[in-house]
Structure 1
Amino acid sequence: MPCIFLNKHKLLFIHIPKTGGRYITERFKENQGLLGGVEHFGCSTHISLRKLQVHKNFLEREIQDYEAFCVVRNPWDQAVSMHKFVRTAVRRRVKDRLLGKEVKRDTSLLGDLNILRQRYLCSFDYNVKERIRYQRLKEKGTLPRQQLDWVKSDQCVKTHVLRFESFLEDIKALPREVAHCLNGFVSKPQPYHDWFSPKLAGIIEQAYKPDIEALGYKF
């Protein structure tokens, strides 16, 4: 989802992928009255704080007047969650296109379907490595690789970093009305260890080393 401004509370939510952001966005939308309005900004699914500041002329406000918050997650757990999400999304797209009449009209779509099937059927190891490769290509744009890079700022913006694993405790740092909207969150710890070979676990450790060291996460 795009970033969210809670103007009444001078609060900005930065959505890091696979950290519970969909739940937060939906809860804010459902409680717009209590929160005094919810404003979305950005046409892309995710946008970093630094990239957001590039658009300050369109925001009609000063970013440094706001506090920001984000949610971070154990990188190994996050990788498993991302893999499951991608598989589900690709499977849905394959099904939709196979059922759609456009396949019969345009045979070029069949090649696209084959690519989708390959992504759906590929291994967890492959998906993890491809995601890291893609992030390296995009990290100078709107998709930073390290989770903490999402909330790095060229301006003085106070940031609350909440943990997916202790979300209900950490939201107490937010304004009371905001925390109240989010108190139904249920984090679902996954037994992620079995997904990783020692080599793949090491690849994650190297790729996300700054986050792991700064946040104290362990495999």
Structure 2
Amino acid sequence: MQLPTTDSNELSLIYLHIPKCGGSFIQKTFAPYSEACPTIQWDDARGHLTYLEYLRVFENHGEDIHHNQIMTVVRNPWAWHVSWFNYVRRDRWGKRSGLKVEHKLFRRMSFDDYLNWLDDDNAPQSPQGYLKKQQSDWVCDEEGQIRVDHVLHQECLLQELQTLIAQLKIDVSPTANRVNVSTKDDYRSYYSQRGIDLVASRHRRDCELFGYKFSDQPQAS
């Protein structure tokens, strides 16, 4: 999306949307500029694509994705799974999420049952496979290196977004109101030690790259 800056120039910014990481807030902040973004305009660029998927899409359109600044938002993995679980099980027939298989399963599950499903790589799931991924799968290349320019943290999103806007001299103002929060509970109350360890193991790279621990706030980059 082409964004006006305070020095009368324009900045081309791509938002790489990891699901359940504050995307509605980001999209609201940059509207209406987001409607002109290739990730919205191009049919093959829509959805929660990874960096590698975007790279191929931009190449197919004869464009270099790195002619743009790329930003994303990440989230504490333990909170991420609580949000997914509550969102999908309430998403009637999986219409909003597109995760029909997961909705059918989760609506009858406890959170412990969900963790058992998560730990079973042969369990039924929708083709997107979102919940079995690490968040870093969205932002890394084949060598596991982060290829986005700006990584914000959902836990302190407003403050970090304001800092980024000032740094890039973007002429927009983020709203102070967060929207579309799936879970208001403390995510820590959902977990036994087994669940804590399971998510830590499955999201080892996320924790290493983004500074997350079970009960800690992230180390802002």
- C-alpha change, 1:36 and 1:20, in structure 2 (3 Å) is closer
Do 1:11 and 1:67's aligned partners in 2 also have CA atoms closer than 8 Å?
yes
Q: What per-residue deviation string (whole Å, max 9, x for no partner) do you get for residues 139-165 of structure 1?
A: xx8858221231124799551000001
Contiguous gaps of at least 5 residues in structure 1: 96-112
Partner of 1:159 in structure 2? 149
Q: What per-residue deviation string (whole Å, max 9, x for no partner) do you get for residues 66-89 of structure 1?
A: 111100100111111111101110
Of residues 170, 173, 194, the one that matches 1:177 is 170
Q: Give the 5 Å matches for 1:100-111.
A: none
Structure 2: distance between partners of 1:218 and 1:133: 23
Q: What per-residue deviation string (whole Å, max 9, x for no partner) do you get for residues 81-137 of structure 1?
A: 111101110xx2399xxxxxxxxxxxxxxxxx9995543111212223434556999
1:77 equivalent to 2:79? Answer: yes
TM-score (norm 2): 0.69
Aligned length: 190
TM-score (norm 1): 0.70
| Deviation of 1:26 (Å) | 3.8
Do 2:15 and 2:70's aligned partners in 1 also have CA atoms closer than 8 Å?
yes
| Bigger radius of gyration among the two | 1
Of residues 99, 120, 135, the one that matches 2:107 is 120
Structure 1: distance between partners of 2:101 and 2:57: 38
After the TM superposition, which of the residue ranges 39-48 and 80-89 deviates more from structure 2? Answer: 39-48
Do 1:53 and 1:63's aligned partners in 2 also have CA atoms closer than 8 Å?
yes
Structure 1: distance between partners of 2:51 and 2:152: 16
SS at match of 2:47: coil
Partner of 1:47 in structure 2? 49
| Deviation of 1:49 (Å) | 0.9
- C-alpha change, 1:31 and 1:215, in structure 2 (3 Å) is same
